[in-house]
Amino acid sequence: MLPANQLSNSFVVVTPNFNMGSYLAETIESVLRNIRPGDEYYIIDGGSSDESVEIIKKYAHRLTGWVSEKDDSYADAISKGFMRGTGRYQCWINSGDLLLNDSLDLARKLLDKSNADMIFGDDFYIDCNSNVLAYSRGACRNLRLAMLYGAWTPLQDACFWRSDLYKRVGGLNKSLQNAADYDLFARFAVDGNVCYMPYAFSAFRKHDGQHSIAHTKSYQREKNDIRCKLVAKSDESLLKKIFLRCYFFMAVRWRVYVMQRIWDKSRLHFKPINQLKATRYW
């Protein structure tokens, strides 16, 4: 537990939720295990019709705030949470995903000691029963180039940043329906000092009806539009842009192919995901 005099290093954590009651309590518990004095935790529900609101009410006394109302997009929901927050650092964890134990303390320490505006790391993939499916490594030497020319996206649940960077880039684009995460992190990479940290911070859940899967085509269209606009503004020459696009097109795909085949998850089977700590597994 961090001493109360370290409130200047506080986090604002936001969880957007819509009809994800089946997994919501597990997400909330994972965040509350990480919260320290001075941290803020907001749950922004989009007017769910399932048991979500009843679940949120059970934890209301441990939350900084919550709301259940219709929103325009998931980016709109997350923005509502960050608008309420006053902490030095920020992150969001989607309903269904999990923070590993000590994640915020580790992120706090790494942000404090580095001059990075944003850090990003690794995560686990889990199934609907919270079994570990795979390990996802977020290593990237140059996030700006990888995002602009390889359409690569850091692992959202393993990203942490300074609130002033979020304000400096104008926050989330609430008009985007699907690729607001890519858009925000790309602008972070262009305007801020971002740094990969070789630690696992979180778990990303794969489940039926997942928004990112159900809207894959729309996500890719929005993402490509955003990428093209940012590339057009970049300083690289046309020839270099062509080279970078070809290089990262191959590099990103080769990386995915290799990583899926060399990670041995068998050594993690003896521990449930909710007992795993944020640490270096690679």
Burial 41-54 (b: 16+ CB within 10 A, else e): bbbbbbebeeebbe
Burial of 1 (0-12, 13-18, 19+ CB in 10 A): exposed
CB atoms within 10 A of CB 26: 18
Is the pTM above the cut of 0.95? no
CB atoms within 10 A of CB 167: 11
Q: Which pair of structure tokens corresponds to residue 194?
A: 């971002």
N residues, the chain = 282
Alpha helices (H) along the chain: 21-32, 52-59, 74-84, 103-113, 143-150, 163-168, 180-191, 211-214, 216-233, 238-262
Burial of 238 (0-12, 13-18, 19+ CB in 10 A): exposed
d(CA 209, CA 119): 29
- Residue 196, φ and ψ in degrees, nearest 5: -80, 135
d(CA 49, CA 207): 19
Helix (H, G, I), strand (E, B) or coil at 224: helix
Q: Where are the domains of the chain?
A: 10-275
d(CA 264, CA 266): 6
Q: Are 139 and 199 in contact (CB under 8 A)?
A: no
Per-residue pLDDT of the chain (282 residues; tens, 9 = 90+): 344 434 578 999 999 999 999 999 999 999 999 999 999 999 999 999 999 999 999 999 999 999 999 999 999 999 999 999 999 999 999 999 999 999 999 999 999 999 899 999 999 999 999 988 888 888 888 999 999 999 999 999 999 999 999 999 999 999 998 999 999 999 999 999 999 999 999 999 987 766 656 578 888 999 999 999 999 999 999 999 999 989 888 887 777 677 666 665 555 555 788 889 999 987
Quote the pLDDT of residue 261.
64
In this structure, the dihedral spanned by the alpha carbons of residues 97, 98, 103 and 104, taken in order and rounded to 10 degrees, is 70
Helix (H, G, I), strand (E, B) or coil at 157: helix
Alpha helices (H) along 119-237: 143-150, 163-168, 180-191, 211-214, 216-233
Quote the pLDDT of residue 253.
75
Q: Are 26 and 205 in contact (CB under 8 A)?
A: no
d(CA 124, CA 77): 25
CB-facing half-sphere around the CA of 185: CA atoms within 13 A: 27
Supply the DSSP symbol for 51.
Answer: S
In the block, tokens 């944020």 appear at 278
d(CA 122, CA 9): 22
Q: At what angle do helices 143-150 and 180-191 cross, to 10 degrees?
A: 130
CB atoms within 10 A of CB 270: 7
Topology adopted by domain 10-275:
Spore Coat Polysaccharide Biosynthesis Protein SpsA; Chain A (3.90.550)
